[in-house]
Amino acid sequence: MATGTEGLAGQLRLLKERAGRSYGVLAGQLHLSTSTLHRYCNGDAVPADFAPV
């Protein structure tokens, strides 16, 4: 299992895939912007506060 940013991104992508929802729909449910959620799922950014995750 990967750790750090890469591991978090992989787990988020897996959860998104399982949910079968778009970034836009999930971002709305999490009260995040679509681009922020996309960056988290790509590993380009890590949330400062893990509450949304």
pLDDT band at 19 (very low <50, low <70, confident <90, very high): very high
Position with higher pLDDT, 4 vs 37: 37
d(CA 1, CA 33): 28
How many C-beta neighbours within 10 Å does residue 28 have? 14
In this prediction the pTM is 0.78
- Residue 43 pLDDT greater than 60, yes or no: yes
Stretch 6-34: mean pLDDT:
92
d(CA 18, CA 25): 14
- Residue 4 pLDDT greater than 90, yes or no: no
Give me the chain's average pLDDT, please: 87
C-alpha dist (Å) from residue 30 to 3, 16, 20, 41: 23, 12, 15, 14
